[in-house]
Chain A
């Protein structure tokens, strides 16, 4: 499941400036003490506004640990529900959502 994301959104007109902080190690494969530590990273992220996908990302392990993403969703208004889902390479995933204008 992972730890909760922190999602902040600011409405500027009908655009929502969204900033998401995810708690994830974003490990690359590496050797530690003679053992291979497998890569563990978020591969896919999806943002939905009232259930409709508005932003998607496919990413690699080159994204920094505890990833931060910012993006701007069009056609948003106060009261809309914004949810963000990530999925990592071990099949783990997590969804968090906020209500716009309430944060």
Chain B
């Protein structure tokens, strides 16, 4: 128990500065990704490209999507985001951070038996718009965005 704690302390103090130095802007794609996964979207380096890869282009701006996020996030490594969609027949909620090296954060599929709500904690490299695209049952897409200012970037986790 004590030994574990000792080595943990050593590691954190020794590597802390180095880790912090490489932390900013260091998101790279993984080499191995499953076939069912939309690789193109996850590897896209701009939000429009990622949205296009997902086939969600041409989304209508909507006030029915509520994004609750801090105006100013002190720590970019952990930015809490609450998304509630009041779009009728919401199927999935996709999240993008425009200024991240790889903007596509993920898609949350609620169609099979969940309320159109999700809470996540994300990493943000720098201040950016947080963009949400909702897929509705009628095949249309709706989007909303909210700006979050980041004082310390947190791509390194």
Residues on A facing B (Cβ under 8 Å): 15, 19, 25-33, 38-39, 41, 43-44, 47, 49, 52-65, 67-75, 89-90
Given A39-B29, A58-B107, A63-B105; A32-B37 close (CB under 8 Å) = no
Chain B, interface residues (CB within 8 Å), range: 35 or more
Cβ-defined partner of B42 (8 Å) among A25, A60, A68, A90:
A60
Cβ-defined partner of B22 (8 Å) among A19, A30, A74:
A30
- Chain B residues with CB under 8 Å of A61's CB are 27, 30, 102, 123, 157
Contact present for A55 and B157 (CB under 8 Å): no
B141 at the binding interface (Cβ < 8 Å): no
B155 at the binding interface (Cβ < 8 Å): yes
B19 at the binding interface (Cβ < 8 Å): yes
Given A58-B106, A62-B102; A75-B113 close (CB under 8 Å) = yes
* Nearest chain A residue, comparing its CB with the CB of B43: A60
Contact present for B115 and A72 (CB under 8 Å): yes
Cβ-defined partner of B118 (8 Å) among A60, A69, A75, A90:
A69
19 more CB-based (< 8 A) A-B contacts, given A67-B121, A71-B110: A19-B119, A28-B26, A28-B28, A38-B31, A41-B30, A44-B34, A47-B114, A55-B110, A57-B106, A61-B27, A62-B105, A63-B105, A63-B121, A65-B77, A69-B118, A69-B120, A71-B115, A71-B117, A72-B114
Bound complex: CA A52 to CA B114 (Å): 12
B17 to chain A, nearest CB (A): 11
- Chain B residues with CB under 8 Å of A58's CB are 37-38, 106-107
- Chain A residues with CB under 8 Å of B119's CB are 19, 68-71
Contact present for A55 and B109 (CB under 8 Å): yes
B1 at the binding interface (Cβ < 8 Å): no
List 28 contacting pairs A-B, 8 Å CB cutoff, sorted by A: A28-B27, A29-B29, A30-B22, A39-B28, A39-B29, A41-B30, A52-B112, A53-B113, A54-B114, A55-B110, A55-B112, A55-B114, A58-B38, A59-B105, A60-B102, A62-B102, A62-B105, A63-B120, A63-B122, A68-B120, A71-B110, A71-B117, A71-B119, A73-B113, A74-B114, A74-B115, A89-B30, A90-B32
B9 at the binding interface (Cβ < 8 Å): no
Contact digits for B52-93, partner A, Cβ 8 Å, 1 yes 0 no: 000000000000000000000000011100000000000000
